[in-house]
Amino acid sequence: MASFSVILASCVMLLLFFTFCEARDIVVGGKTDAWKVPSSESDSLNHWAESFRFQVGDSLVWKYDAQKDSVLQVAKDAYVDCNTTNPIAEYKDGNTKVELDRSGPFYFISGVKGNCEKGEKLVVVVLSSRHRLISPAPSPVEFDGPAVAPTSGASSLKSASLVVLGVAFAAWGLF
């Protein structure tokens, strides 16, 4: 019976590991066309971003009209000043994906002159890997479509972990 407890504990640890280490694709604003000048302060993308716990390995996904807008990744000073002249990276494809590859803040502004000053900008703070297991779950957020989609194989790996855990509990019931 002691060896079964070790197996059960191992299964639970695997489940926790895969649950907290799964990289996510996060649609900016929670919906298509959220990258725009906000209609009010409460409609700001920064207000939306405050409800998430971004982790290293997650990716932000912007869906916007490439004929009308773009996304610039910038330094903090450029973010504060809405300076579009020297971005870290510029995206104009309408379906932009940026991996959050380090902890700390990431700054984004619109590439359209005047839009940043009107509030079309975003800062996200990525937690370091040591904060993953102790972060609280994000609050539920209303949105028009799926804001978070698991990346390719991570979902099936998580499902396999749940199956292993289910089998372990079923086996435990037999003893």
Nearest to 172 by CA among 6, 14, 15, 13: 6
> If you search the block for the tokens 């773009």, which residue do you land on?
70
Task: Give the architecture (CATH level 2) of 23-150.
Answer: Sandwich (2.60)
Instruction: Summarize pLDDT for 123-164 with one digit per residue, the tens.
Output: 999 998 765 444 455 544 444 444 444 444 444 444 444 444
Rounded Cα distance, 35 and 57, in Å: 22
Question: Rounded to the nearest 10 degrees, what angle do helices 154-174 and 2-21 cross at?
Answer: 160
What distance lies between CA 128 and its chain's CA centroid?
13
Q: Are residues 66 and 90 in contact, defined by beta-carbon separation less than 8 angstroms? A: no
Greatest CA span in the chain, whole angstroms? 69
Give the number of C-alpha atoms closer than 13 A to the C-alpha of residue 13, restricted to the C-beta side. 6
How does pLDDT run along the chain (175 residues), one tens digit per residue? 555 554 544 433 433 344 455 789 999 999 888 999 999 888 899 999 999 899 999 999 999 999 999 999 999 999 999 999 999 999 999 999 999 999 999 999 999 999 999 999 999 999 987 654 444 555 444 444 444 444 444 444 444 444 444 444 444 454 4
Q: Any bridge partners for residue 108, and if so which?
A: 73, 122
